[in-house]
Every structure is written in structure tokens, then in C-alpha cells.
Structure 1
Amino acid sequence: MGEALAAVIRRELAWLRGSPWDLTLVSLAPLAVLAMISWMFVASVAERLPVAYVDQDHSAASRQLLRNLEASPRIAVTERPVDLADAWPLIRSGKVWAIIYAPPNTEREILAGRKATVFVYQNAAFYSLGAMSALGASEAIAALAADMAPRLAQGRGLPLPHLAAPHVQSTVLYNPQLSYEWFLEALLQPGVLHLMMSCVIVMAIGRELAEGTARDWLGERPLIALAGKLAPYVVIFTGWNLLGVGWLCGVRGWGVHGSLSALIAGQLLLYASYAALAALVVLGVKNIATALSAVAIYGGPAITFSNATLPTIDAPLFTQIWSRALPFTAYVELQMQQMFMGAPAAASAGPLLALLTFTLIPFALAALLARRLLHRSAPEAAP
């Protein structure tokens, strides 16, 4: 089995060496794309986004703040942890997009005529979601400022000027500089490369179909032949993505804050999944132009529907299903956890399992189509 797989890989690499056009598509073209993206970045309204509220003041003011937060159309208080230590795992796991913290003595500071601080910690790894959550929290706190002072003054018999409403201190997590380079470049690298690889694989398999060499490629073991055909491209484009990560996280100094091993595994499965899907499409339609259109329609909008730029929470059901039907969505979740948020590797088990599923099922279906193609071409090869 190992020798048969190696033979198919050698055959594909020999083709690449002998075809300047195909070699350019897997070498100079990805390099140019990465260079362009690096050069570019070197220098729908979300509603009911889940947030956590930590109330350690337990006062009339903090209870009013909770009511304001719950009334906000932008956010929903889905978690009430006892303290901040219990809140951090919630934001790292993606269960909430922001943490609102009312510290002890918030109301006492207000009654003493001093500025009290309510803290908002937003998850800027998911830039739009974190920003929208922080905005909703800020609006709720501003509403508290408008309505709390006169009510407290009346209830306690204090002059209104004696009361000072709390101000907001918003702390940005995981992307404190709000850098487009860190956020968008890390997102665009795999987003563009996986689409390029899908097109290359469509042309690589389509060439065998168009030139009538499919039987020579498939031999007697179509599953191994399919794996050998896809493997070089999966490895090459994973390598290019890792080069991009090295530039961004190493040379540019952003760093990988979680598990590098989990990130590499996720990238390998990302490209393996899209390779299997591209193979399935071209073997199914048996037409290069149609297959190229299909993989472009499927892979092109991946960034948009990945939850990284525009949230799909509370979107139409079709949009949510489409988002989850894309391997890129699972990968982005893993990348955010490991590159940005410093989550433990175990937190990415779900996305890794999703990517593995996206790889195995299309590959198995593509192998069945390859076997059927081999059987159909057998009579033609007979003397």
C-alpha cells in the first residue's frame, strides 16, 4: 500500500515538474497571494449576542444595570458567573462574547460622589461580535447613568449633584491594538489559499478525465490513487499557510497564543477537507469548467459565513446551516482559539472533529466515484 501511494505521488510530482503552468499555480501564485495580503495589511446588525454579567456589588444600582442589559436588543445575559475567575472560561470557549463586571462598592462610590467604574471585557478575536457586544453593554450602562442618579437621590434624600454616575472602562481582549493585520491577514491567508488549492485539484483530476488517462492514474486501487493525487497539493498548500503563519506570528511578532500543534492539525485538515470536496465535485460532474464554478461558489463565500466578520447568529436558518456546512467555519473557530485566545488544545476538539468529518465523508464518496469511473473505463482498455 505504501509503495502504491508513493508511486502515485511521484507521478503527480513528475507532472508538476514537467508543466510550468501547473507548477506556477502551486508555487509562485500562492507566494504572490501571501505577499500581496501581507503588503495590504502591514501598516447585518448583531442582536442578542450572549454576554456574561458578574455582579459583585449586589446593590440596587447593579440590579438596575442587569435589567438594562437584559433589555438591550444587542445583547443577552446568558451567564451569571460568581466572579471573574469563573467568567474567563466562558469567553475563551465562545459561550459569551463579552463580560460585564460590576465590582464591589460600585453603588457606594456613586453615593460618595466619586466616579464608579463598570468594566466591559470584549472578545476582539471575533472582531465584529466582540465590538457589538461591547456596544450593547455600553448603551445599557449609559442608560443606567441617565436613570439612576435621580432615583437614588430621591430615595436617599441626597442632592442630585452629589451623585456621580458610573463610567465605562472597556478592555479589549485578544486583539487589544484592533490590528487589521492581526485579524484580517490571519483570516485571508487560509481563506484564499484553500480556494486556490480547490481549483488546482479540479484541474489536476479534470486533466486525467479530459486526456483519457484516468485508468493509468487509478490503476487497480482507486482509493490509494485518489489519496496520492490529493496528498501533494494538501501538503503544499498547508506548507504555504504555515509560511504565512510564520510571517505573521513570528516575523511580525504576533505569536501563537495557544497550541501550535492543534493549529497545524487544523490547517492540514482544512486543506484535506477542501481537497476531498474538490475531488468529489470534479469526479461527479466530469467537467472542469462546471467543477471550477461549483468549488468557487462553495468556497468563495467561506470568509463571509465563518462568523469572523459578519455574525450569523439570529440570521435566517438557511444562513446558519450554510455557515456550519463549510469546513472553513470550523477552522476559523479553531484558529481564533489557538492563535488569538490562548485556549487549551482540548477546547478545539470540536472543530478538529468537524474538519475530520468534512474530510472523510467527501473523500469516501469521491473514492466511490473513482471506483465507478475505473469500472466503466475497463471495457475500453480491454484488447
Structure 2
Amino acid sequence: MENRQLVLDFWHRFKDAFNDEIPVIFKRFTFHWLMWILPLIIFVLISSIFHKGVLFDLPVGYVDQDKSTLSREIVRDLNAGAHANLINYDNQLKMAEHDLEKAKIYAILYIPPNFEADVLAGRQPTPMLYYNALYYSAGLYSIMDYSGLIASLNTQYRTTMATSIGLPVPKLAQVNFNYDGLFNASGNSMYFQQFSAVVHLLQLFVVTTTIYILSQLPKRTRPNYPFVLGKLAPYTIWYTMLLMFEIAMLVLFSDARVSGSPFAMMIVVFFYVIAAQSIGILLYTFTKTTLDAYTYIGVLVGLALTYSGVVVPELSMPWIARFISSLEPLTYALNKLFDLFLRHSSYLSVLKTCSILMIYPIIITVLVRKRLVKRLHSQ
């Protein structure tokens, strides 16, 4: 009976705080800025950056030390592709490397001396095309046409070499490769970055709003933990709907095909917002002033962006970076949301992700439950 009374008491305090917060959500212009004006402005800015989809005619330097028919064919065919615009550096490889470091070009094609002669002699020389990985999308797109070009030349000269030697060319295995693009076939990488940026930046606004609400509570009433949760609950629902709206806009304008359930996506977003709010509570509780809490948001955002797989692929990180990545709620939310785009992900896997995201508020509740109330009273 005592436990039941505690639950009822918690619920009544939560409900009273929730009902009390609803009428004041849009009474202050600060809430308008944090809840829809700034998020939508940034959403439009990000969309405008990526609206062209694929990067075309990226400057790529080349150093041709062979100057043969074959080397000129490679340069001509690569330049004819959509993504690379080749710039001749003659034999000035050092200058090309310097321009690559300064982002005046995004990649360098190097063709060694005696390239054609070595190819015809069967010595398998290697032309090199490398790019600056710091420019993740631009560098990657600048070399996109290269692999297909080399594969085509290998097929052509394989027949030539076999004929000159007098040996028949063995037949290759017949393989049928079916590719069904998740998004418009020309812009998958760009869509991923745009989607990731939108999901990532929502965390910034959720944490900022949470800290702002907590900083205003002592001015209104004497707080307790159910009261705090009730005050935050309307914003949980709001930011869930806001992110789902932005995702819907991305899907609509990018012609994306969603394989999973939109309802499952909404569940993941809901728990992601709760996890982000709990981080805001943690920052507010363990800082002396509200300004200090706002200051640490930059550290949070930087860590999330660096170690969640948005900038650097998670599999390429060292073990310590992967460990940091495993501490970020953005990592789990982003992976599961893209999983729902890619395939019909089961509700069991969605439940697993939501359970992981719920670990954050549970642990943070244990850490701050008493300290938060003292922090609010002392302000």
C-alpha cells in the first residue's frame, strides 16, 4: 500500500507540473528561439549547403611522368568523368602536395615513368591517386570515377597481354549484381551527412532548453524531482515531433525510401530526446552556475560530433575512441535510425536501442536526484 501511495504521489506531482508548464511554453520569446525558430533556420541552412547533392568538377592535380598514350588516356578519361576536373602540375609533385594541403586541390593523380612500357611488359606498374581524408566528402567524391576507369583499362589490357603472349583469356565468372539505392543514387553520402547533422544538432537545442528551464524553476516554485520531470515532459514531446518533422522533410525533398517503420523511428527519437535531456540535467546539477552549464555544452557537442561516427567512421577509430563513442547517446540513435531506413528492422532491435538510451536517464537520476534539488534550492 505504501508503494502504491508513493507512485500516486509521484504521478500527481508530475501531472501538476506538466499541466502547469503547458500554458507557458510559448509565452516567452526565448522558447520560440530554442524550440522552432533556430532549429528550423539551421535546418534550412544545412539543406541549402547539401541541396546540390553530388559534388561535381572537383579540382584534382595530376603529375604524368610517363607522357605516353596510355597515361594521356587515363588523364583524359578521368577528366571526362563528372566528379574530377584535372589540373596539370607537369613534374612539380611537391607543389601539388602543397596545394593538396591547402585545399586548392582535393586529390593527386601520379603516373610513374615508363608506365605504358611496364604495362605492356606485364610488370604491373601502379598509378596512384590519393586524396586528403580531412576533406571527407570532397576528397572521396574527387576519386569516385577512378576505380571504374582502372577496372575498364585492366579488362582492355588483359586481353591485349594475353594475345601477345599467345594464351587464351580465361572466362570470368558470371555474377549478377543487383543494387537498390536507399536514396537517390547520386547522393547517398551527402544525405547521410545532412541527416546526421540534423539529428546531432537537435541534441544541442534539447540540452540548452533543459538547462534554461532548470535555471528558471526556483523563480516559480519550490522544486522536487517529480516536479522537474513534469516540467521537462512537454519539451520531450515537442522535440520528438520537431525531429520527426525535419526527417520527413529530408525524406520528401531527397526522394528517400524508408524501409522500416516510421512509428519505430518516432520511438527511437523519443528516447533519444530523453537521453539528451538527462545530459542537460547532469550538466546543470554538477556546475556551480548556469553559465558554467552552458559553457560545457560546447564540449558535449564536440565529443558527440567527433566520436559518434558522423565525421570519422566508427570502425576506423582506435579502441579508446570507440569507447568514447559507446558513451554517446547520439551513436545509438543515429545507427538505429539509419538501420530503420535501410531495412525492416525488428521491434526487438528497436527495443534494445531504446533500452540502451534509457540507461542514461536512469544512471543520471541516481547521480543527481538529491543533489539536483539542493542545487535548485541554493540558486
Q: How many Å apart are 1:337 and its aligned residue?
A: 0.6
Distance in 2 of aligned mates of 1:345 and 1:288: 39
* Residues 10-50 of structure 1, C-alpha deviations (whole Å, 9 max, x = no match): 4334443332223332132222222322333333xxxxxxx
Aligned mate of 1:160, from 167, 173, 179: 167
Q: Are residue 30 (structure 1) and residue 39 (structure 2) matched?
A: yes
Is the 1:282–1:291 contact (alpha carbons within 8 Å) kept by the matching residues of 2?
yes
Q: How many Å apart are 1:318 and its aligned residue?
A: 2.1
Aligned mate of 2:267, from 259, 265, 268: 265
Is the 2:182–2:256 contact (alpha carbons within 8 Å) kept by the matching residues of 1?
no
Is the 1:273–1:362 contact (alpha carbons within 8 Å) kept by the matching residues of 2?
no
Match of 2:193 in 1: 184
Match of 1:323 in 2: 325
Match of 2:18 in 1: 9
Match of 1:279 in 2: 281
Equivalent position amino acid for 2:167 in 1: L
Match of 1:51 in 2: none
Return 233-242 or 24-33, whichever deviates more: 24-33
Match of 2:243 in 1: 241
Change (3 A) 1:286 1:205: farther
Q: How many Å apart are 1:373 and its aligned residue?
A: 4.0
Change (3 A) 1:6 1:255: farther
Distance in 1 of aligned mates of 2:291 and 2:375: 19
Match of 2:307 in 1: 305
* Residues 299-322 of structure 1, C-alpha deviations (whole Å, 9 max, x = no match): 334233222442232522221111
Equivalent position amino acid for 1:185 in 2: Q
Q: How many Å apart are 1:296 and its aligned residue?
A: 2.3
Is the 1:269–1:359 contact (alpha carbons within 8 Å) kept by the matching residues of 2?
no
Q: How many Å apart are 1:273 and its aligned residue?
A: 0.4
Q: Are residue 42 (structure 1) and residue 51 (structure 2) matched?
A: yes
Is the 2:182–2:341 contact (alpha carbons within 8 Å) kept by the matching residues of 1?
no
Normalising by the residue count of structure 1, what TM-score does the alignment of the two structures yield?
Answer: 0.61
- The alignment covers a number of residue pairs equal to 277
Equivalent position amino acid for 1:227 in 2: L
Return 11-20 or 28-37, whichever deviates more: 11-20
Q: How many Å apart are 1:201 and its aligned residue?
A: 1.2
Distance in 2 of aligned mates of 1:249 and 1:185: 11
Equivalent position amino acid for 2:334 in 1: V
* Residues 90-116 of structure 1, C-alpha deviations (whole Å, 9 max, x = no match): xxxxxxxxxxxxxxxxxxxxxxxxxxx
Q: Are residue 174 (structure 1) and residue 176 (structure 2) matched?
A: no
Is the 1:269–1:355 contact (alpha carbons within 8 Å) kept by the matching residues of 2?
yes
Distance in 2 of aligned mates of 1:318 and 1:293: 25
Is the 2:264–2:347 contact (alpha carbons within 8 Å) kept by the matching residues of 1?
yes
Q: Are residue 199 (structure 1) and residue 208 (structure 2) matched?
A: yes
- Map residues 1-383 of structure 1 onto 2, 5 A cutoff: 1-43=10-52, 159-163=166-170, 171=179, 174-175=182-183, 176-180=185-189, 182-208=191-217, 212-213=218-219, 216-218=221-223, 222-250=224-252, 252-373=254-375
Is the 1:34–1:244 contact (alpha carbons within 8 Å) kept by the matching residues of 2?
yes
Change (3 A) 1:159 1:350: farther
* Residues 168-207 of structure 1, C-alpha deviations (whole Å, 9 max, x = no match): 9694753433335532222121111111111121122123
- Alignment root-mean-square deviation, CA: 4.0
Is the 1:334–1:352 contact (alpha carbons within 8 Å) kept by the matching residues of 2?
no
Q: How many Å apart are 1:269 and its aligned residue?
A: 0.7
Distance in 2 of aligned mates of 1:167 and 1:202: 61
Equivalent position amino acid for 1:337 in 2: D
Unaligned runs of 5+ in 1: 44-126
Distance in 2 of aligned mates of 1:363 and 1:37: 34
Q: Any idea what SS the aligned residue of 2:348 has?
A: helix
**Identity fraction in percent:** 18
Q: How many Å apart are 1:271 and its aligned residue?
A: 0.8
Distance in 1 of aligned mates of 2:350 and 2:23: 37
Q: Any idea what SS the aligned residue of 1:357 has?
A: helix
Is the 2:11–2:226 contact (alpha carbons within 8 Å) kept by the matching residues of 1?
no
Unaligned runs of 5+ in 2: 1-9, 53-135
Distance in 2 of aligned mates of 1:349 and 1:181: 29
